Structure 1
Amino acid sequence: MSSHPLSHFTGKDKQLADLTAAAQAILQLDRAFKRLLPGRLGEQCQVACVRGGELVVFAHNSTVAARLRLLGNSVVAPLARQGYPLTSLRVKVLPTPPKPVRQKSFSLSRAGIDAFSRAADEVGNPVVKQALQRLLRHHKP
């Protein structure tokens, strides 16, 4: 891994430099946009891009999208006064993908199952006994 700053690489490639500048501009606009939002609403959305004067914002759910649409011009006008070339706001709901199902990554050997089974029979603490039995139910074939 290189220890050079990003500017070391972007200075050598015009396309990479342009892409980096565009990304930094969007991040700066995102911060300015979120400062205008009430409460913790800014945590639930992000600026996507600007298209022809239209600020496109992704909302994490439809409730957040509705609140942002209600704010409309009250966030676009201050941004325009700050020098951003904006005339309107478009809010899109960005669906969150379902969480992947975790595959079982650990299994006990037959000897391990036998040892836990003996321990469950011999332990006196009912909480530990119950936990060991639950573990065995999960791992027995």
Structure 2
Amino acid sequence: MSSQLFSHFGKKDQQLADLTAAAQAILTLDRAFKRLLPGRLAEQCQVACVRAGELVVFAHNSTVAARLRLLGNSVVAPLARQGYPLATLRVKVLPTPPRKPRQKSFALSDAGIDAFARAADEVRNPVVKDALKRLLRHHKG
């Protein structure tokens, strides 16, 4: 099978060409939208789609969503002036998948555990003593 550029496939299949054009339009709108946002807010959201004059944006968390909602018309109006058929902004929070618990990749040897136990018995500082005891409970557990 010969390797062809993705754009060549789009020319052969009309549905794929339509999908590619729609994706490019959303990416272009996303770039234009993010240029209007203050600070690092642009890194925390993305344009999802446009439905009946409504710009739908996904926010990475509820704080970002609240800031975007406050901006509302101040980002929609400039985009409308640029030729995008927009009237309102809808912000949705993307559910983030739960993080997988990290697997322990470090284990203390029995000699190491004994050394920390002796150190915990001899240390006078209560903060350090508690920290060493927590470390021991974690590695013995």
What fraction of aligned residue pairs are identical, expressed as a percent? 85
User: What CA distance in whole angstroms lies between the structure 1 residues aligned with 2:74 and 2:66?
Assistant: 14
After superposition, the CA RMSD in angstroms is 2.9
User: TM-score with structure 1 length normalisation?
Assistant: 0.71
* 1:16-95 paired onto structure 2 within 5 Å: 16-95=16-95
Cross-structure match for 2:15: 15
Q: Which runs of 5+ in 2 are unaligned?
A: 113-138
User: What CA distance in whole angstroms lies between the structure 2 residues aligned with 1:3 and 1:79?
Assistant: 38
Q: Secondary structure of the residue that 1:28 maps to in structure 2?
A: helix
User: What CA distance in whole angstroms lies between the structure 2 residues aligned with 1:27 and 1:2?
Assistant: 29
Provide, for residues 3-58 of structure 1, a one-character-per-residue CA deviation record: whole Å limited to 9, x for no partner: 42111111110101000100010000000000000001000000000000000000
The one-letter code of the counterpart of 1:83 is G
Q: Which runs of 5+ in 1 are unaligned?
A: 107-116, 121-137
Q: Secondary structure of the residue that 2:7 maps to in structure 1?
A: helix
User: TM-score with structure 2 length normalisation?
Assistant: 0.71
User: What CA distance in whole angstroms lies between the structure 1 residues aligned with 2:22 and 2:101?
Assistant: 36
